[in-house]
Amino acid sequence: MESDIIPNQSIREAQFWHKLDGDVQCTLCNQMCRIRPGKRGLCGVRESRDGTLMTLVYGNLIAANVDPIEKKPLFHFLPGSLSYSIATAGCNFRCLHCQNADISQLPRETGQVPGGFVPPKEVVAEAIADRCQSISYTYTEPTIFFEYAHDVAALAKEDGLKNVFVSNGYMGQEAAESIIPVLDAINIDLKGDDQFYRKVCGAKLEPVKQNIKFFWDRGVWVEVTTLIIPGYNDSEEILREIAAFLAEVSPNIPWHVTAFYPTYKLRDAPPTSAGQLRKGVEIGRQAGLKYIYAGNIPGEDENTRCPSCGEILIERLGFRVMRNSVSDGLCPKCGSRIAGVWR
């Protein structure tokens, strides 16, 4: 008699691991988890079973929405377009201020891995049906559902869609190399100094900086976000270090300095003031960055200006593009090239 038990299609062998003295070592990200038999890595969604590392979230979507690309945030990548945005549960960070902790931290805190299986081709079909120009792997850390993201991205590429990661930038070298051929853009959080990463995120700073430079140097469009948290990473010294690093990689990298609101396990810090955001913008300018944006506070300047003549090129209201005068990547007033992916 045949069994009527339906196998879980989301559980399958993972990539980027090796055996290590009876355990398995996951090399997907820079946490480099050594996982004992029957246990999971820090992300809560990669498990050692019978000497093999398994992913528990292949195709196991917990979120799928149509978003403006500006929400990622990406301001110099197909502005005004829609992006089909997907996520599974889990994360390789444990940020105390995570705004999506209900899905990112759930597997680690409860052992549960909720979601529903969606084959890669259905994601691509939905993106096309919803008139999206890209697929974004977002809400949680896309690295932890890498196998699925890569398969979706490869199919999307074949159908002319772009692929976007919204990431903490902690993926390992093998994974980063593997995603390059199908990845078009990435927004990476650069959260603070090394002390901030260790205390608030359970990670280290250096791998994030290395990946920002790696993706930029390899031709992936990169934008960087720093959530300014009063009393944690808002010092002038930390912000200057971040701005100087980005300017050294390239002054063309857009830097989003955004406002924090108390959430999850970080409720002792006050919300970020408009003045603190403006201080970040000014520090970015002094460092030589050409494109700095103040986000998460209504009324702050998120317009794109020509760095040569100051002309407003893209006017935004929230996540909406009200006007875009960039033509073939050029400023229509002075002819200067504006860094980005415009079509």
Residue ranges covered by each domain of the chain: 12-55, 60-324
HSE-CB at 234 with a 13 A cutoff on CA atoms is 20
Q: Which pLDDT score, from 0 to 100, does residue 288 have?
A: 98
Q: For residue 111, which amino acid is it?
A: G
Sign of the torsion formed by the C-alpha atoms of 333, 335, 341 and 343: positive
For the domain spanning 60-324, the CATH number is 3.20.20.70
This prediction has a pTM of 0.96
Average the pLDDT over 54-76 and give the result.
98
Residues 50/113, Cβ–Cβ less than 8 Å: no
Phi, psi of 330 (to 5 degrees): -120, 150
Q: Which pLDDT score, from 0 to 100, does residue 285 have?
A: 97
Q: For strand 255-259 and strand 292-295, is the pairing parallel, antiparallel, or unpaired? A: parallel
Furthest-apart CA pair in the chain: how many Å? 76
Residues 221/75, Cβ–Cβ less than 8 Å: no
pLDDT, tens digit (0-9, with 9 covering 90-100), for 31-44: 999 999 999 999 99
Q: Could you give the CA distance from residue 297 to residue 280 in angstroms, rounded to a whole number?
A: 14
Confidence of residue 300 (pLDDT cuts 50, 70, 90): confident
User: Residue 234 above 80 pLDDT?
Assistant: yes
Closest CA to 273 of 242, 294, 250, 248: 294
User: Residue 4 above 50 pLDDT?
Assistant: no
Average the pLDDT over 137-165 and give the result.
98
How many C-beta atoms surround the C-beta of residue 50 within 10 A?
7
Q: Which pLDDT score, from 0 to 100, does residue 18 have?
A: 97
Q: Which pLDDT score, from 0 to 100, does residue 298 have?
A: 87
Q: Is 126 exposed, middle or buried (0-12, 13-18, 19+ CB in 10 A)?
A: middle
Average the pLDDT over 85-92 and give the result.
98
Please state the separation of Cα 315 from the chain's center in Å.
24
Q: Could you give the CA distance from residue 204 to residue 293 in angstroms, rounded to a whole number?
A: 25
Tokens read off for 331: 């400023």
In angstroms, the Cα distances linking 248 to 5, 233, 288 are: 56, 20, 9
Residues 10/115, Cβ–Cβ less than 8 Å: yes
User: Residue 5 above 70 pLDDT?
Assistant: no
pLDDT, tens digit (0-9, with 9 covering 90-100), for 181-232: 999 999 999 999 999 999 999 999 999 999 999 999 999 999 999 999 999 9
- Work out the mean pLDDT of the chain and round it to a whole number: 96
Q: Could you give the CA distance from residue 295 to residue 232 in angstroms, rounded to a whole number?
A: 18
Q: Which pLDDT score, from 0 to 100, does residue 7 have?
A: 53
Q: Is 110 exposed, middle or buried (0-12, 13-18, 19+ CB in 10 A)?
A: exposed
